[in-house]
């Protein structure tokens, strides 16, 4: 178990009786004034949404003899062309905490007005988030482990591209040439043979494949009925039958075609802000024909990320702001997180939802 390191910064300065006189906190931005003395930076956390999407990919490949599937085997649902379909199999929503670059603050002591020096304890965790100030009883706050994130992972298809078993597309043809020769008064026939190579048509190949399939089925029938009258063990029979079935499936794939299934995994990140789109954020596009494409592309329908606030921030904003005295110095800035409902929609249908705490909405 790794140790959690906490940075404890001690600033010595004269403490005024008023609490607001102890420190000065400045929002760090290009227009901020130059600090008057040494101090400490701290940063507010922001919530990042992590959306994991698993897409099922089904690839279909046409068999080279598919046009004869119905003629020879009565198969009317053979694959007629190559195509791929996509389907969202699973969606997972989770959150990560990261530093908010727009919420960096600087703590410094104000002008000392007392000869008595005090110690200011500022506690930060490893990420630079403020844990506490001037509280010596505050325990060491655990720091969230950094998560190793995979942006995109592709799972290959099992078996890859289809390989079809098919016989040679050429055959040898032998022509017999008969010549009749008159020798005196006798007619003599002389036979000559000419061998030539010709290309097989797809129908010839389909006929050969059909004959192979019939031969394999006949061999299986004889094996299972004991036609050979050989005392094979049960395991041997099962093995030989499995091999014959696999051969039959390979030949049938010439007519039916082949299909493969696999999964693609995608991970998307989105850091919500108070200015997030009211109509939902276009996270990515998706269609059953093209799968996941980038947001704003012309293919696919938009997948929208909708965030519905719980209303805590509205209650806090409605609280009256107290009148501040002259010379007032702002104290520690912090956030009260907001609980929100996160909804992911595609083509008008909700595909995932959950309730999460969003720091920057507080």
Distance CA 203, CA 181 (A): 40
Tell whether the model's pLDDT for residue 276 goes beyond 70.
Answer: no
Tell whether the model's pLDDT for residue 136 goes beyond 90.
Answer: no
Instruction: Give the pLDDT confidence score for residue 272 in this predicted structure.
Output: 87
What is the maximum span of the chain, computed from C-alpha positions, in angstroms?
Answer: 150
What DSSP string describes 137-194? TPPPPPPPPPPP--SEEEPPPTT-S-------SEEEEEEEEEEEEEETTEEEEEEEEE
Averaged pLDDT for residues 135-150? 45
Name the 3-class secondary structure at 201.
coil
Dihedral of the alpha carbons of 321, 325, 330, 335, in degrees to the nearest 10: -10
Q: Which two tokens stand for residue 26?
A: 């400045």
| Model confidence pLDDT, tens digit, residues 41-82 | 888 888 999 999 999 999 999 999 999 998 888 888 899 999
**Which one has a higher pLDDT value, 174 or 354?**
354
- Residue 107 — very low, low, confident or very high, per pLDDT cuts 50/70/90? confident
Distance CA 273, CA 275 (A): 5
Which among 202, 260, 225 has a CA at the least distance from the CA of 71? Answer: 202
Lowest mean pLDDT among 62-76, 80-94, 124-138: 124-138
Distance CA 350, CA 362 (A): 26
Instruction: Give the pLDDT confidence score for residue 258 in this predicted structure.
Output: 92
Distance CA 361, CA 339 (A): 8
Asked if 121 and 134 touch (Cβ cutoff 8 Å), the reply is yes
- Residue 183 — very low, low, confident or very high, per pLDDT cuts 50/70/90? low
| Model confidence pLDDT, tens digit, residues 304-325 | 999 888 777 667 666 677 666 6
Distance CA 276, CA 342 (A): 13
Tell whether the model's pLDDT for residue 122 goes beyond 70.
Answer: no
Distance CA 218, CA 248 (A): 11
CA atoms within 13 A on the CB side of 332: 18
């Amino acid at each position: 178990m790794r140790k959690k390191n906490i940075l404890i910064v001690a600033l010595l300065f004269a403490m005024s009786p008023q609490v607001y006189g102890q420190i000065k906190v400045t929002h760090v931005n290009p227009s901020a004034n130059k600090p008057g003395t040494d101090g400490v930076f701290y940063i507010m956390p922001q919530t990042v949404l992590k959306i994991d999407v698993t897409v099922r990919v089904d690839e279909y490949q046409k068999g080279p003899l598919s046009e004869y599937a119905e003629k020879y085997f009565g198969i009317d649902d053979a694959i007629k062309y190559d195509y791929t379909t996509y389907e969202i199999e699973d969606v997972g929503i989770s959150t990560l905490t990261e530093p908010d670059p727009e919420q960096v603050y600087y703590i410094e002591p104000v002008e000392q007005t007392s000869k008595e020096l005090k110690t200011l304890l500022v506690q930060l965790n490893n990420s630079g988030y403020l844990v506490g100030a001037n509280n010596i009883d505050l325990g060491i706050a655990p720091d969230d482990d950094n998560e190793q994130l995979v942006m995109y992972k592709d799972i290959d298809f099992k078996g890859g591209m289809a390989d079809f078993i098919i016989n040679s597309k050429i055959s040898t043809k032998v022509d017999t040439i008969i010549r009749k020769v008159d020798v005196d008064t006798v007619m003599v026939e002389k036979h000559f043979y000419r061998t030539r190579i010709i290309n097989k048509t797809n129908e010839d190949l389909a006929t050969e494949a059909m004959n192979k399939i019939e031969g394999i089925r006949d061999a299986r029938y004889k094996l299972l009925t004991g036609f050979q009258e050989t005392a094979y063990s049960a395991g041997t029979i099962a093995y030989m039958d499995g091999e014959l079935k696999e051969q039959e499936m390979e030949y049938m794939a010439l007519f039916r075609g082949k299909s493969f299934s696999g999964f693609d995994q995608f991970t998307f990140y989105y850091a919500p802000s108070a200015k997030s789109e009211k109509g939902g954020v276009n996270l990515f596009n998706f269609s059953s024909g093209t799968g996941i494409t980038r947001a704003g592309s012309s293919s696919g329908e938009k997948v929208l990320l909708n965030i519905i606030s719980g209303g805590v921030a509205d209650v806090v904003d409605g609280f009256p702001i107290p009148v501040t005295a002259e010379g007032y110095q702002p104290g520690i800035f912090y956030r009260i997180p907001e609980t929100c409902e996160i909804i992911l929609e595609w083509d008008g249908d909700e595909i995932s939802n959950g309730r999460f705490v969003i720091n920057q909405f507080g």
